[in-house]
Chains A and B, each alone.
Chain A
Amino acid sequence: MSRPTNESPRPYDPVDLSSRAFWAGTDTERETAFAELRAKRPVSWHRPLEDLLFTDPNDTGFWAIVRHADLVEATKRHEDLISGEGILMESLPPELLEAGQSIIAMDPPRHSKLRRLISKAFTPKQMKRIEDRIRANARMIVDDLAPKGEADFVAECAALMPMHNICDMMGIPYADRQKVAHEAAMPTGVSDPDVVGEGDPVQRLFEAAGYLHDMAKRLAAQRRDEPGDDLITALAVSEVDGARLTDDEIGAFFVLLCIAGNDTTRQSTSHAMKALTDHPAQRAWLMADFDGRITGAVEEFVRWATPIMTFRRTAARDIEFGGQTIRSGEKVILFYSSANRDETVFDRPNEFDLSRDPNPHVGFGGNGIHHCLGNQLARTQLRVLFDELLHRLPDIQAGEPDLLNANFIHGIKRMPCTFTPQR
């Protein structure tokens, strides 16, 4: 064990989960670290994340939860392990957190009341009602892609599907969609200069938040005059505890929906395309009975991709967890990528196996109160998009992905793809 610093209440674990180098490495390298912790020290204390954008003087480190069962337990103990102190590993200025996190960083009862305003729009029955619209978007995307023969799979396919669908649901005009999606990618790309540019990343985040809040305010004002059947209307006209949401609250909710709606399905789509390219036997198995196999395959796409690698909780009181005493106020990080490779839950966890059943992955969360609101939307989009894509462009192959340097989103920035052009 390494020596504790003055501030740390206990020695730090020797396995590195905190350095820039760790997060800049490959999945395989990270999995080696997680596998050691899962086997030997499943609840471990680590030094603070290196090279923070914003220094929190009280940050003495974090607990790492790496086993599947522990992660599920942590998400269900929402009174012990709260979200209201932040949900990212990275420390950020409080005003930025306020501007962009909304219900994902709230606790009950406020969380429950706000989430109910829009939950109806994401239910399984609602997805069936809008599936034609989702399929029309998939067709449009593949129509545009088909004659090209080669393209950036991320920009010209994977990013477009969730962008159009979440924008349809929110009621964002066509002309604004690319800009909204671009600005919404700033918070999750903040640690990668390729995304946020060479300037001050925190400043860039404030600009992105400003743009999205202005857009939300403008759209909400429009919808109060002319209500529509969309999420902005639901946020603009509903009352919680006898009061309408403020513009700031609507703005934060809007930012959350833009990020969560765009940046997760995009990554699952890209990782799945790469995996289907790298595992031709799996692809052939899927195509032999696409309609019968795609629903299960989508679960493996999401496990394989694990588009969100980490979420943070904070101990609300001193608690016992996995044989350790976690002190009130300490950060606890849930490692979804590790839980989704837990060998006690998944046979051959490092194999991409589309026939995996059961597949109790935590790609949408551990089934606690913050379980992914859009999980049914994501599943529908993946099923429908790959139906269009793999049938219309049967020889499509992905090239080498250019990976995002981040500890939250498991991102692919660009990835070439090639196929026989269809006209």
Chain B
Amino acid sequence: MKIHIDEDKCTGHGVCEAIREDVFEVGDDGVAHLITEELTEDMREDLQDACDQCPTQALRLEG
């Protein structure tokens, strides 16, 4: 399972960070970054939520 962040679309709303602060963090560049590589199956629902709720449709869950 992987998350792809489209940095051209992301504007750092932080919706993903609000859903999973242990996975996402908006950086000083104003764009969301992954702060862990370890995405586990029990996170899937939250990660899908983060993708669905992203205001700029910048997140994609793969795998």
Contact = CB atoms under 8 A, between A and B. Distances in A.
Contact of B26 (A111, A117, A123, A369): A123
B18 A112 contact: no
A49 to B, nearest CB: 28
A124 interface: yes
Interface residues of B, number: 21
A120 B21 contact: no
A119 interface: yes
A367 interface: yes
Given A125-B21, A367-B55, A116 B13 contact: no
Contact of B12 (A120, A365, A367, A368): A120
Contacts of B30: 115-120
A125 B25 contact: yes
A117 B27 CA distance: 11
A109 B56 CA distance: 12
Contacts of B56: 112, 369
A115 B55 contact: no
Contacts of A373: 13
B11 interface: yes
A118 B56 CA distance: 16
Nearest to A368: B55
A73 to B, nearest CB: 13
B11 A116 contact: yes
Interface string B23-35: 0011111110000
Size band of the A side of the interface?
20 to 34
A204 interface: no
A236 to B, nearest CB: 16
Interface of B: 8-15, 17-18, 21, 25-31, 53, 55-56
Given A115-B11, A115-B30, A124-B17, 19 more contacts: A109-B8, A112-B9, A116-B30, A119-B11, A119-B14, A120-B12, A120-B26, A120-B27, A120-B28, A123-B26, A124-B14, A125-B17, A125-B25, A365-B55, A367-B53, A369-B55, A371-B55, A373-B13, A376-B14
Interface of A: 109, 111-112, 115-120, 122-125, 365, 367-369, 371, 373, 376
Closest 9 CB pairs of A and B: A116-B30, A119-B12, A123-B14, A119-B30, A371-B55, A124-B18, A123-B26, A115-B11, A112-B11
26 contacts: A111-B11, A112-B8, A112-B9, A112-B10, A112-B56, A115-B11, A115-B12, A116-B11, A116-B29, A117-B30, A119-B12, A119-B26, A120-B28, A123-B17, A124-B18, A125-B14, A125-B17, A125-B21, A125-B26, A367-B55, A368-B55, A369-B11, A371-B13, A371-B15, A373-B13, A376-B18
